[in-house]
Structure 1
Amino acid sequence: MSKLFGYLLSPVFYIFFGLVLCIFHPIQWICYKLFGYKAHKTSVDILNFFLTYCQLFLLNTITFKNDYNLPTDRPIIFAANHQSMYDIPALIWFLRKHSAKFISKIELTKGIPSISINLRLGGGANINRKDNKQAISEIIKLGRRMKENNWSTVIFPEGTRAKDGQVKPFQFGGIATLLKAVPNALVVPVAIENSWKIVRFGVFPLTAGNALKWTVLKPIEPGVKTPNEITLEAETEIRKVLGQEVLL
């Protein structure tokens, strides 16, 4: 039934999703050129509000749970599992007061309305996965911007999307590099549920009637813990929320 509704509703979703991207592309440019970073960020926040709630056209529900009073006066590294591209708009919207940035493939900085311009102007790290030296350098620069501006970063330690929803082992390199540049950052795990189901059949049809959920978990103070220990703790807590086997 979810697939059947997907055939009917996917075109509607894509029309509105694409329309939002096209409308906000010039808006972002104008905000940045005429009013600067803060205006640009506001336009990006509003863009991602609409992108997030475009899911309603697929009859998908959206739940974001955060029981923690996270600080806004220190950088945060949000470590999340990754299931689909639809994970990202909600993270930007619901974490907007933390100015969350992303580590993205450099290929995405061209050719995609709204998304590419945001990646170029928004202050995140755009990395070349084939050039390890460049990637590390960009992540370190991002860490410095986090430290200077009290920005936060969302990182997907799996390194790729889990297309079946099963969490892949987390890699600690990204968190280690960021903590080296901004050692006072708080690490906060985020568990993402069911967004993989949207694209279980690929780009068409998207599936309908999914309960999409983002859950902010207990913050981890780096302290004397190693990046490896921090990363494993984040992965373990996410697995518990998703009801998946905890790796020892």
Structure 2
Amino acid sequence: MKKALDYILSSIYLLYFGLMLLFFHVYQVVAYNVFGKKAHKRSVDHFNFMLTYGWYLTGAGIHFNNRTQLPDNRPLIFTPNHQSTFDIPGLIWFLRKYHPLFVSKIELARGIPGISYNLRKSGAALIDRKDGKQAIVEIARLGKFIQENNFSAVIFPEGTRTASAAMKPFAAGGLAALLKKAPNALVVPVVIRGTGRFNPKGLFPLTSFSRLSWTVLPGIEPAGKKPEEIAQMAQAAIQAVLDEEFRK
């Protein structure tokens, strides 16, 4: 019975998801070209609000918990664990105040209505994972941009998705490139839970009645610390929260 419900609710959500991609692609194009970058930012916020709360169609529980007071007068570097592509709409919506810009693989910048357009126009760092030099240059560009505008960057230090609570080691290279250009940025770990279980086999079927959550942890001051140390601290902070859930 539960499996059948997964298929039914997933079908409803994916129809909704497809319509949102198409509608908000047009919305973004009009917003950007007619009204400018601020309007485009609002259109992206609306898009990700609809994607995030559209998960209610699958019976999901959606929770955001901020365990700290984040500054608004300096750049931020968010370092979440990475369980699923479903991590991203929640990050964009819940952190919208901080104008989050992503480090993303360049392949995503083409072919996906709404999502690809935003990556190209928002200022995201689009990296070729086969070209280390290009990736570092692009991430450094993003670091300079958030430094000049007091925006935020989102980088997944695992480098790939890990559906379980057993994270891959956090790599420090991308973080180092961001901090080199944004030396006064606060590094902020974010714990993502449940999105890996939500889509264990891709987009279909999704697991209905999943509990999805995003938890912002206290920031890590980078001054006097090596990027490797910061990456380890961020991972340890996230792992401690994931372990809390395991013990419950």
Query: Structures share a fold, TM > 0.5?
Result: yes
Aligned pairs for 1:142-157 within 5 A: 142-157=142-157
CA contact (8 A) 2:58 2:208 kept: yes
Aligned pairs for 1:1-20 within 5 A: 2-20=2-20
For 1:40 and 1:201, how far apart are their aligned partners in 2? 32
Q: Which range is displaced more, 201-210 or 10-19?
A: 201-210
CA contact (8 A) 2:158 2:169 kept: yes
Residue type of the partner of 1:96? R
Aligned pairs for 1:12-161 within 5 A: 12-161=12-161
Residue type of the partner of 2:69? N
CA contact (8 A) 1:189 1:238 kept: yes
Q: Give the deviation of 1:182 after TM superposition.
A: 0.5
CA contact (8 A) 1:2 1:209 kept: no
For 1:203 and 1:16, how far apart are their aligned partners in 2? 13
Identity over the aligned pairs, expressed in percent?
53
CA contact (8 A) 2:79 2:187 kept: yes
1:197 corresponds to which residue?
Answer: 197
CA contact (8 A) 1:3 1:206 kept: no
2:184 corresponds to which residue?
Answer: 184
CA contact (8 A) 1:144 1:182 kept: yes
For 1:2 and 1:91, how far apart are their aligned partners in 2? 29
Q: Give the deviation of 1:164 after TM superposition.
A: 3.0
Query: How many residues in Structure 1 have an aligned counterpart in Structure 2?
Result: 244
1:217 corresponds to which residue?
Answer: 217
Task: Map Cα deviations across residues 162-201 of structure 1 (whole Å, 9 max, x no partner).
Answer: 0334211111111111001100000000001111011113
For 2:192 and 2:89, how far apart are their aligned partners in 1? 12
For 2:163 and 2:213, how far apart are their aligned partners in 1? 16
Query: With structure 2 as the length reference, what TM-score do the two structures score?
Result: 0.96
Q: Can you give the 5+ residue segments of structure 2 that lack an aligned partner in the other structure? A: none
CA contact (8 A) 1:28 1:44 kept: yes
Residue type of the partner of 1:157? P
Q: Can you give the 5+ residue segments of structure 1 that lack an aligned partner in the other structure? A: none
Residue type of the partner of 1:58? T
For 2:44 and 2:202, how far apart are their aligned partners in 1? 27
Q: Give the deviation of 1:8 after TM superposition.
A: 1.2
Task: Map Cα deviations across residues 47-103 of structure 1 (whole Å, 9 max, x no partner).
Answer: 000000111011011000003221112100000000000000010001001000001
TM-aligned CA distance change 1:73 to 1:205, over 3 Å:
same
Q: Give the deviation of 1:2 after TM superposition.
A: 4.6
CA contact (8 A) 1:75 1:151 kept: yes
Q: Secondary structure at the match of 2:218?
A: coil
Query: With structure 1 as the length reference, what TM-score do the two structures score?
Result: 0.96
CA contact (8 A) 2:189 2:234 kept: yes
CA contact (8 A) 1:164 1:200 kept: no
Residue type of the partner of 2:66? N
Q: Does 1:162 align with 2:174?
A: no
For 1:204 and 1:20, how far apart are their aligned partners in 2? 17
For 1:68 and 1:199, how far apart are their aligned partners in 2? 29
The alignment yields a C-alpha RMSD, in angstroms, of: 1.1
Residue type of the partner of 1:15? L
Q: Secondary structure at the match of 2:64?
A: strand
Residue type of the partner of 2:170? F
